[in-house]
Each structure stands twice: as structure tokens, then as C-alpha cells.
Amino acid sequence: MDNNVLRNIPGLIKWATAYLEQNQVIKPRLNAEQLLSHCTGRSRVDLYAYPEWPVTKEISEAFERVVMRRAGHEPLQYITGIKWFRYLELAVDPRVLIPRPETEMLVEKAIETIAKMPGHPLVADIGTGSGCIALSIAKECPAAVVHATDRHKAALEVAKANAERSGLSEIILFHAGDLLDAVPRDLLGKFQAIVSNPPYVSEPEFLSLPSEVREHEPRHSLVSGPSGTEIQLRLMEEAPGWLDEGGWLLIEGGEHQVVELAERAITLGYAHAEVIQDLNAVPRILKMQAA
């Protein structure tokens, strides 16, 4: 970095934007602003409103280090350690998938369904990762009793810490284990809703994912198996035993999976199966009602 830009906010943004662009980072200016905001503790708006703020040597060196990491295509959210999801500021690190915008829609549909239920609906989030689904449901549907599971204990630690920092740890129960096997068996047949964003990438598809995803996010949070639908199908088979009569299973899936899985749902004995499209008109969510 040129010494002239060391102590100057506009200069640092300009330098980092050009450097990130050279290294094929998408939206280089936004990334530069977010990284500087992270290093200075000041909002992006303030970076422009108060360009004369002095930048210490420590800050400019810290900024240079994070820009280098980002230029190497490490995900922005692992560098800042933060991902906003609906109304929650979640801590994220390489133990968990970075929550995606598609999953906000899954949560929106789950909340629409759960909010209409009387009493204290029992809800499970299977494969909770950062906890984004379970925590959002617990926050936005305070009457619900939420169970969150993950096969990977390291991911569950992240979800528990996020529940703690969001003031939701008292109202979510966490369990480690494979899909619904993780849940106490006395709850068989009692759930009003099961929600999941399971791994749904096939082994061949994984090889074509951007390096930013493939080399940094946990493979086990993405890959389901040779076809991509293995975990979704297992969950669709297991869920009816855990759902109360008329209970709902909502799962996220890939563009080429959801319609086929909806047909499968009917053969598995679900009463209804509805395909919901995302904002790009891509079939993304499958909402099924147990008979």
C-alpha cells in the first residue's frame, strides 16, 4: 500500500476497491467499505460523512491485512465474523454455512405458517448451522417451542452462542445427531412444524461451485451425496412420524430438485405438497402437510 493513503479514509477505500477489483472480487467498493467499517468500528455512512477522521497506523495495517484475505477470496462474513439474517446479527465462522437470502424466504414461509397456530406450537429446525432458522422462529413466534439440531457438534456450538448473544438461549433446545434421531423420542408425533435447509448440493455440482464457497464453507453443510437429494428425501421419509396430524414440513432445495420432490411427497403419503418460488422465480421451497 502507498504511504500516502495510509491515514486517509477516501484513499483507503480507493486503494482497496482497485485491489479487490484486480483480484476479481465481486462488488469491490462495497467490500472495501464493509471491511473498513469493520476495522474502524464506524458505519459505512459515517465513512463518507466524516472522511477527515484520522486513521491510526494500527487501523490501516489491520485494514491492509483483511483486504489481502478478501482478495484471496475468503468470504467477507468470515472475515468480519458477522452476518445479518432478518432481525438477527449472527456470529459466523468456518464451522458453519453463511446464511443465504433464499433461507430468509424459507423462514418467512415457516413463520407465516407457525404464527397462525394456537397455543405453543412445537417446531424443529433440522441442520441448524448458525442457528439462523431456529433463532428467527423463536424471536418472531415467541409462543413456539423450538428444537434445533445438527449432526456436527461444532456447528451446534455456533448456534448456541448465537442464541446466547440474541437473548434466545432460554427458549431453544439444542440436540446433536443425525436428522430427527437427534430429537428426544417422547416428541414423536408431536411437532406442528419441521423446517430445514439441509445440504442439497450433489458431489459433481460441488466441484463447480465458486472457490469462495468450495474452499471456505464446510463441505458437509453443502453436499448431500451423489445426487444432492439424499438428505431431503430421508427427512421427507422420517418427518411424518414426528409430525402431529396436519403438521407441516418445509424444506429448501435446489432449482432442479423441488418440483420432483413435490411429486415424491405425494407418493410418501403427504396430504399436500406446495412448491414456492424465490424472488428470482426459481422453485426453492417445498411445503408439505402431513396427512
Ligand X SMILES: C[S@@+](CC[C@H](N)C(=O)[O-])C[C@H]1O[C@@H](n2cnc3c(N)ncnc32)[C@H](O)[C@@H]1O
Of 274, 289, 197, 175, the closest CA to residue 243 belongs to: 289
- Residue 152 is a binding residue for ligand X (CB under 6 A): yes
- Residue 202 is a binding residue for ligand X (CB under 6 A): no
Out of 75, 121, 127, 247, the only residue in the binding site for ligand X (CB under 6 A) is: 127
- Residue 178 is a binding residue for ligand X (CB under 6 A): yes
Binders of ligand X in range 31-50 (CB under 6 A): none
Binders of ligand X in range 224-283 (CB under 6 A): 231
Piece of 19-27, 125-133, 202-210, 269-277 that binds ligand X (CB under 6 A):
125-133
Out of 71, 110, 139, 150, the only residue in the binding site for ligand X (CB under 6 A) is: 150
- Residue 88 is a binding residue for ligand X (CB under 6 A): no
- Residue 103 is a binding residue for ligand X (CB under 6 A): yes
Piece of 25-33, 122-130, 240-248, 270-278 that binds ligand X (CB under 6 A):
122-130
Least distance from ligand X to the Cβ atom of residue 96, Å: 6
Out of 28, 121, 199, 253, the only residue in the binding site for ligand X (CB under 6 A) is: 199
Out of 28, 75, 121, 129, the only residue in the binding site for ligand X (CB under 6 A) is: 129
- Residue 214 is a binding residue for ligand X (CB under 6 A): no
Which lies closer to ligand X via its Cβ, residue 61 or residue 112? 112
- Residue 20 is a binding residue for ligand X (CB under 6 A): no
Of 206, 196, 218, 200, the closest CA to residue 75 belongs to: 218
Q: HEC profile for the chain?
A: CCHHHCCCHHHHHHHHHHHHHHCCCCCHHHHHHHHHHHHHCCCHHHHHHCCCCCCCHHHHHHHHHHHHHHHCCCCHHHHHCEEEECCEEEECCCCCCCCCHHHHHHHHHHHHHHHCCCCCCEEEEECCCCCHHHHHHHHHCCCCEEEEEECCHHHHHHHHHHHHHCCCHHHEEEEECCHHHHCCHHHCCCEEEEEECCCCEEHHHHHCCCHHHHCCCCHHHHEEECCCCHHHHHHHHHHHHHEEEEEEEEEECCCCCHHHHHHHHHHCCCCEEEEEECCCCCEEEEEEECC
Task: Copy the grid coordinates of residue 157.
Answer: 456450538
- Residue 99 is a binding residue for ligand X (CB under 6 A): yes
Which lies closer to ligand X via its Cβ, residue 71 or residue 133? 133
Least distance from ligand X to the Cβ atom of residue 182, Å: 7
Piece of 22-30, 35-43, 144-152, 270-278 that binds ligand X (CB under 6 A):
144-152
* Cα torsion angle, 150, 155, 161, 163, sign: negative
Out of 35, 97, 135, 183, the only residue in the binding site for ligand X (CB under 6 A) is: 97
Interacting residues toward ligand X by CB under 6 A: 96-97, 99, 103, 126-130, 132-133, 149-152, 155, 178-179, 197-199, 220-221, 231
